[in-house]
Chain A
Amino acid sequence: MSSSVTVPKSALPQRRAQSFISRLKSGEELAYLITVTAAAVIILLTALVLYELIAQSGQARHKFGWSFLFTSTWDPVAGDYGALPFIYGTVVTSVMALLIAIPFGLGAAIFLAEMAPPKISNAMTFLIELLAAVPSVIYGVLGIFVLVPALQKSVVPAIKSVAGSLPIFQGTFYGVSVFSAGIVLSVMIVPFIISVSREVLLAVPRDQREASLALGASQWQTIWRVVMPNASTGITGSIFLALARALGETMAVTMVIGNAPQIKASLLAPGNSIASMIASSFTEATDDLFLSALVELGLVLFGVTFVLNGLARILIMTTQQKGAHK
């Protein structure tokens, strides 16, 4: 609350200056200035990144125009570049990672917040947050040496015997694939969903739960119909955070995805993602058009993140509205 006296507009300039000075002395103006500057710097940095992406990709944008988004060739020799296989790879791996991570993540968060005794809950939360701190290169190395052989030997043959006729599971599996990348990504993003969702679930007021139990609901009914809707904004926030990480993940993906710029219906085929392509090619890109095409890929990733987040928000809003009308 401002400590200054409310002065009518018609007051003498002298009195208005005095109240400004008193606000300044009390630190109000300074606090306002600092927080506004901090927020402005963030926005300015984002704008600067966007500006640089647009400027450095100029050569590729002029050469390819919008067809960059729809072309599938990536030919450095002929100087012909297209982003479609990478957009496909990025979207498919991220969506697959989310589809796996959300049920596991929410389930674990609900267990830790609602059902586990406090000691177990705290210990397990600590371990899960450690998972989030593991560098992504380690995930990549574990992916190649542990996950991929395990998938090749047991998991994929099992999937193929059950669902082998589906187009998404056709073809020979060589280990490195979109499927492996999706699984590695899901392991990486699960800790984000768990830790944020758990915090949000714990923050739901006790009286909500008690009221629901008092009305005769079981524990699960309470969780599903009272606690979770209360925490839904926080949970969706955690899912957005997880999606953002999945879209931008570089090292772990590049080691297990197979680096093949192609679009295949089967998840078992190798593919490539935008971040993985940029990271692996950037230092060795010898000509300006190649570099420019890579920067344009970065700009496309910016756009893909924007679009996916927007779609996710629309989806959330429509489900929430439906829920409200019930």
Chain B
Amino acid sequence: MTRRIFGLTVAVVALAGVAAAALSVTGAGATFPYPMYSKWFSDYHKMYAGIEINYQSIGSGGGIKQVTEGTVDFGASDGPMDDTQLAEFKTKRGCAVLHFPTVMGAVVPTYNIPGVTGELNFTGEALAGIYLGKITKWNDPAIASVNAGVKLPATDIVVVHRGEPSGTTYIWVDFLAKVSPEWKSKVGVKTAVNWPTGLGAKGNEGVSGQIKQTEGSIGYVELIYAIQNKMSYGKVKNAAGVFVKADLKSVTDAAASAAADMPEDFRVSITNAAGKGAFPISSFTWLLVPEKIADPAKKKAIKDFLTWMLGPGQKLTGPLAYAELPKSVVAKETKAIAKIQ
């Protein structure tokens, strides 16, 4: 009798053990797409109960570092890895790293000007001039000339930027460097720069809070943040000369116009993209996947997820206010999935 009970217990425990052995894939990185990734991974797990993808939003820098060290199976970053980082990955892990764009984001200029309630137009040069500290008053001709009919006061411009390194900053300064050679040489492009002027605030919340409290201030926030918090933001002039307001469509258009010249590895900046409807301060966010994955189960799981992400996954982006990838980019990426060995 005791032997039977013992045998049954062993059988039950063994079965439970087998049932609980789900495949676990880990990833870490960017905070910007975290809400989207969170939904994707949980929906994917609901469909395929045997696969569990865990994601930690520790920041783009952390994502790049951890995937290079091999502590996570894939990374995520708002900015593509540069050549030094690619070389370091190759030395440490013995293979290349592939970039897969997942969703798109944009950065918008937001402001608080006494007496101005509508949407302002900004040219890229004006934004660069403001952030370089050269344009100091709101009624400066560079701003007034493109805002006919708006009464701009002679208030000082208070510049607000991010105090800590962030992907949002990277997209913003990438755009400024493209429209202003002075910005490119004097300040440069990175997730954190030596700001010529302005106050630093912490996170999108810090920037918007500071702007609400400070008259005459201007800052930049993620488009999604602006939409969800019903903030008013300005239009920006794109490379085709049109003043475009950022929304999900204009952001997707930016990638569509860049798709034709997109490099094979998708490491491209799409700020200041051509195309009449394109919003010029847009960007991809990428998943960083090693080219060679040793574990066959993990490799299949990641490849299947990427295929799903490019298909049904893209349909889930709208409700969360992320812009989906254009079809041309999706087609290129689907081919690139085959590169994972």
Contacts and interface: CB of A to CB of B under 8 A. Distances in A.
Contact of A259 (B60, B61, B163, B191): B163
Contact of A176 (B60, B79, B199): B199
Interface in B228-257: none
A152 B190 CA distance: 33
Given A284-B165, A286-B60, A258 B191 contact: no
Interface residues on B, range: 35 or more
B214 A77 contact: no
Contact of B206 (A77, A255, A285): A255
Contacts of A75: 193-194
A122 interface: no
Contacts of A149: 213
A317 to B, nearest CB: 39
Contacts of B158: 174
A284 B194 contact: no
Given A174-B158, A175-B213, A284 B191 contact: yes
A281 B164 contact: yes
B133 interface: no
B213 A258 contact: no
Contact of A281 (B85, B165, B188, B213): B165
The B interface is mostly helix, strand or loop, or mixed, namely loop
B202 A255 contact: yes
A176 B213 CA distance: 10
B190 A258 contact: no
Contact of B198 (A76, A78, A260, A283): A260
Contacts of A260: 163, 195, 198-200
Interface in A71-112: 73-78
A131 B335 CA distance: 59
- Counting chain B CB atoms within 10 Å of each CB, the highest count among A74, A78, A272, A284 belongs to A284
B209 A174 contact: no
Given A77-B194, A258-B199, 14 more contacts: A76-B165, A77-B187, A152-B213, A174-B210, A255-B202, A259-B199, A259-B201, A272-B163, A283-B62, A284-B59, A284-B62, A285-B165, A286-B79, A286-B85
Interface of A: 73-78, 144-145, 148-149, 152, 172, 174-176, 254-255, 258-261, 270, 272, 280-281, 283-287, 290
